[in-house]
């Protein structure tokens, strides 16, 4: 269990998390998390295809904490015929609805404003439920509650896909993975090279966005940037789902390539032509290096994104209690 994870939330923290999403949804989407459809297809297309393949034709698929809806839209584009996304942020759901319409999938994808209390009412019975970068925004007690609700919404032996950040402690890292990780970090710095010689200048727009990005880090490490956000520690997800789900497979999907894309997108605000020329060669390189990082047993001290395919147990075991030392 991660030392930093909250055991219980409280109304002030919940309100702060909600406000954070209302305030930073735009920069999160444009630069940090969602980025562009082309980047999504490149970095995430493979595992999204795997997710779609788990839903039989015509089955309902739901995404909890869907944000601006890119994953629901991509699931529909790749063949899912009945997708519902819920999120507590009206700002994000507004964007999601607009994008679904623009993408022409609004007949197959529905978005609803809703919090974790309202999962059953919003999504109904599903064959597949996806929690993509969502559970790490919740306290342990909330995760347990959500898992129980998901279990009730799933058809017998239905699938829950969990895709979340896991942080491996540095003590577990191997020299070889450290080397690849350093290369990945170096690639992140490439779009910012040349500032000392005046070749790379930051425009007012880029400086402004960078100021907003710096202001969004409000969680205490390892929490953040949002107030409740905390990566999982190795084995934590397996332990949390165990009373209700069997984990049938898991694999690492992404490490730092997203940050390389982020720096390139920011560079594009000042040097659009150079950013465009560098974009794909650098992102391809980052992806190839990332694959090396992901191959190692204990890849990094940074966040690594892992996907867990969980199947609802028919007979559930009693929930495991959480040691008091993890409560804060």
Ligand X SMILES: C[S@@+](CC[C@H](N)C(=O)[O-])C[C@H]1O[C@@H](n2cnc3c(N)ncnc32)[C@H](O)[C@@H]1O
CB of 91 to ligand X, least distance (A): 8
67 binding ligand X? (CB under 6 A): yes
CA atoms within 13 A on the CB side of 267: 24
The position carrying tokens 């559970």 is: 135
Q: Residue 219, Cα to own-chain centre: how many angstroms? A: 17
Does 223 help bind ligand X (rule: CB under 6 A)? no
Q: Which stretch binds ligand X (CB under 6 A): 133-141, 166-174, 202-210, 245-253?
A: 133-141
Give the span between the Cα atoms of 63 and 10, in whole angstroms.
24
**Which residue has the closest beta carbon to ligand X?**
67
Q: Is 71 in the site for ligand X (CB under 6 A)?
A: yes
Is residue 33 near ligand X by the rule CB under 6 A? yes
Give, in order, the Cα–Cα distances in Å from 11 to each of 18, 68, 308.
10, 24, 30
Conformation bin of residue 79: beta by default, left when phi > 0, alpha when psi is -120 to 50? left
Query: Using CB under 6 A, which of 75, 116, 253, 286 touches ligand X?
Result: 116
Binding residue for ligand X (CB under 6 A) from 31, 88, 99, 303? 88
Q: Which residues contact 314 (CB under 8 A, 6 or more apart)?
A: 156, 157
Give the number of C-alpha atoms closer than 13 A to the C-alpha of residue 308, restricted to the C-beta side.
25
| Contact residue for ligand X among 48, 52, 61, 66 (CB under 6 A) | 66
Phi, psi of 191 (to 5 degrees): -65, -10
The least distance separating ligand X from the CB of residue 267, rounded to whole angstroms, comes to 23
Q: Which of 6, 32, 34, 143 binds ligand X (CB under 6 A)?
A: 34
Count of residues interacting with ligand X (CB under 6 A): 19
Binding positions for ligand X, rule: CB under 6 A: 17, 21, 33-34, 65-67, 70-71, 87-89, 92, 115-116, 132-134, 137
């Amino acid at each position: 269990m991660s030392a930093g994870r909250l055991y219980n939330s409280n109304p002030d923290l919940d309100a702060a998390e909600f406000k954070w999403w209302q305030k930073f949804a735009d920069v999160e989407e444009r630069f940090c998390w969602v980025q562009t459809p082309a980047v999504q297809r490149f970095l995430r297309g493979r595992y999204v295809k795997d997710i779609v393949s788990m839903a039989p034709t015509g089955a309902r698929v739901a995404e909890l904490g869907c944000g601006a809806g890119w994953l629901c839209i991509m699931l529909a584009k790749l063949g899912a015929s009945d997708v519902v996304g819920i999120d507590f942020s009206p700002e994000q759901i507004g964007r999601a609805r607009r994008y679904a319409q623009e993408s022409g999938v609004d007949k197959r994808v529905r978005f609803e404003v809703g919090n974790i209390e309202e999962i059953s009412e919003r999504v109904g019975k599903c064959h597949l439920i996806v929690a993509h970068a969502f559970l790490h925004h919740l306290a342990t007690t909330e995760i347990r509650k959500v898992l129980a609700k998901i279990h009730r919404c799933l058809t017998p032996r239905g699938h829950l896909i969990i895709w979340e950040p896991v942080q491996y402690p540095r003590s577990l890292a191997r020299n070889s993975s450290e080397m690849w990780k350093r290369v990945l970090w170096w690639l992140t710095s490439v779009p910012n090279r040349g500032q000392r010689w005046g070749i790379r200048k930051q425009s007012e727009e880029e400086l402004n966005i960078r100021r907003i990005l710096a202001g969004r880090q409000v969680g205490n490490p390892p929490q953040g940037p949002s107030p409740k956000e905390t990566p999982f520690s190795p084995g934590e997800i397996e332990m949390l789902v165990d009373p209700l789900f069997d984990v049938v497979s898991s694999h690492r999907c992404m490490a730092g390539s997203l940050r390389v894309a982020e720096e390139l997108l920011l560079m594009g605000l000042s040097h659009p032509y150079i950013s465009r020329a560098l974009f794909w060669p650098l992102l391809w390189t980052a992806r190839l290096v990332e694959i090396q990082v992901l191959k190692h047993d204990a890849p990094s001290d940074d966040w690594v994104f892992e996907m867990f395919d969980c199947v609802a147990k028919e007979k559930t075991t009693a929930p495991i209690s959480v040691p008091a030392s993890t409560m804060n």
